[in-house]
Structure 1
Amino acid sequence: MDRVIRFQTSRGRDAIFYDGYSYWFDRRAASGDIFWRCLRDGCYGRLQTNVNLNQPMVRGDGHLHARNPEEGIIRPSVARMRERAATENTPIPQIYQEEANRLSYSASASALLPMLQSIDSALYRARRSNFPPLPRTLSEIVIPQSLQSTESGEEFVLLQLQDNNIMVFGAPSDFDVLCSASHVYMDGTFAACPELFRQFFTIHAFFGERQKIKFYKKQFDVLWPLDFCQLRMYALVYK
């Protein structure tokens, strides 16, 4: 007997895959049995299981489409992507690539896996579900306590003016790196900046043993960003 595979839809609804078809939760009977409805719109396929998803029993007039065995691999894989997007800080493209690599054992499933561009909106929506909404004005900016320190417990918000015109982020240990660095690099950008601010200013330095990356057959040293400043002003003035 085919195994029942459980997953969640993009809208967070309980769903299962069985015998080449996908179903979403329909209702629960007084006896505890669960009734499932085919995920395809307009399809009459129905399934009944007990509370442990055992003893599946096909109900209704049957499906209006052919079986798709790969759905039992693809849908749970996409559901894992959404779950990871909501619970991890791993970049969305990296999550997609890692989950896609897990399907390498099935050439047919890998070929049918949706492209990132077709599901990235759902993944980013899942990620936003665990974060507060973006502020529309400077006065609405409130940094949650969980985001005010690093994973090692260091304070991360170095400066936040009362009117939020200037915000500076970085760990105190970063200053030790800056003080010991032979060269410090600074850069301000206006293009890649949060909407409420006009400038994003960063400070970089080499940290520990220099690392290199290869780009177009050339070797480049890796600079580590240490401090970040978001500014409403157009320039920094040093005295």
Structure 2
Amino acid sequence: MFSQKGKPLLVMDNFVFKLNKTTNTNKYYQCENPQCTMTLRTDINDVLIGTKDDHNHPPEPEQIEVRKLKHVIKEREKNETTPIPKIYDEETARFYLTSLAMAIVPSQGEISTRIFVLLFLKE
């Protein structure tokens, strides 16, 4: 999974971690929540080596589901000529989303606007 800026993210136990530093043998991640002090270390293949501290917030699996859906929609829009509304309908039907995740999925119009901004204003 990747952030909106294209940076690598690691999902572990329904928490999202952003890559903080990479060495020849290890990767260091920190919780994406800025108020959380949880960090972890993996090898180069993202196999967990150790953790430091605990999360001070609950996991948000629904947010992760929605981010994955948005990523798939964005990737399809970059690589296909299919209209965004059709991609949105196909992917929301294909993804198994919990009812809570469906409640927080951006509307088709919001997705279209965001993808337009990401794809065309970066050029």
CA distance in 1, matches of 2:48, 2:75: 28
Q: Does 1:52 align with 2:45?
A: yes
Q: Does 1:23 align with 2:36?
A: no
In structure 2, the partner of 1:98 is: 90
- Taking a change above 3 Å as real, the CA distance of residues 11 and 122 of structure 1, as seen in their structure-2 partners, is farther
Q: Which structure has greater helix proportion?
A: 2
Please give the TM-score of this superposition, normalised by the length of structure 2: 0.79
Indicate if the aligned counterparts of 2:20 and 2:28 stay in contact, CA closer than 8 A.
yes
Indicate if the aligned counterparts of 2:40 and 2:48 stay in contact, CA closer than 8 A.
no
Q: Which structure has greater strand proportion?
A: 1
In structure 2, the partner of 1:107 is: 99
- Taking a change above 3 Å as real, the CA distance of residues 58 and 101 of structure 1, as seen in their structure-2 partners, is farther
Corresponding residue to 1:37 among 23, 26, 30: 30
Distance apart, 1:122 and its partner CA: 3.0
Count of residues in Structure 1 that have an aligned counterpart in Structure 2: 123
- Structure with the greater alpha carbon radius of gyration: 1
Between the two structures, name the one with larger relative contact order (CA 8 Å, sep ≥ 6).
2
CA distance in 2, matches of 1:118, 1:42: 28
Moved over 6 A (4+): none
Distance apart, 1:56 and its partner CA: 5.4
In structure 2, the partner of 1:210 is: none
Indicate if the aligned counterparts of 1:22 and 1:71 stay in contact, CA closer than 8 A.
no
CA distance in 2, matches of 1:57, 1:85: 38
CA distance in 1, matches of 2:49, 2:85: 36
Give the percent of matched residue pairs that are identical in Structure 1 and Structure 2: 24
Q: Does 1:80 align with 2:62?
A: no
Gaps of 5+ in 2: none
Indicate if the aligned counterparts of 1:85 and 1:124 stay in contact, CA closer than 8 A.
no
Which amino acid letter does the alignment assign opposite residue 10 of structure 1?
Answer: Q
Please give the TM-score of this superposition, normalised by the length of structure 1: 0.45
Corresponding residue to 1:70 among 54, 62, 65: 62
Distance apart, 1:11 and its partner CA: 1.1
Gaps of 5+ in 1: 1-6, 134-239
**C-alpha deviations, 1:21-43, integer Å up to 9, x for none?**
1111111123x211112222332
| RMSD (Å), alpha carbons | 2.4
1:122-201 correspondence runs (5 A)? 122-128=114-120
In structure 1, the partner of 2:6 is: 12
Indicate if the aligned counterparts of 1:20 and 1:72 stay in contact, CA closer than 8 A.
yes
Indicate if the aligned counterparts of 2:15 and 2:60 stay in contact, CA closer than 8 A.
yes
CA distance in 2, matches of 1:120, 1:43: 32
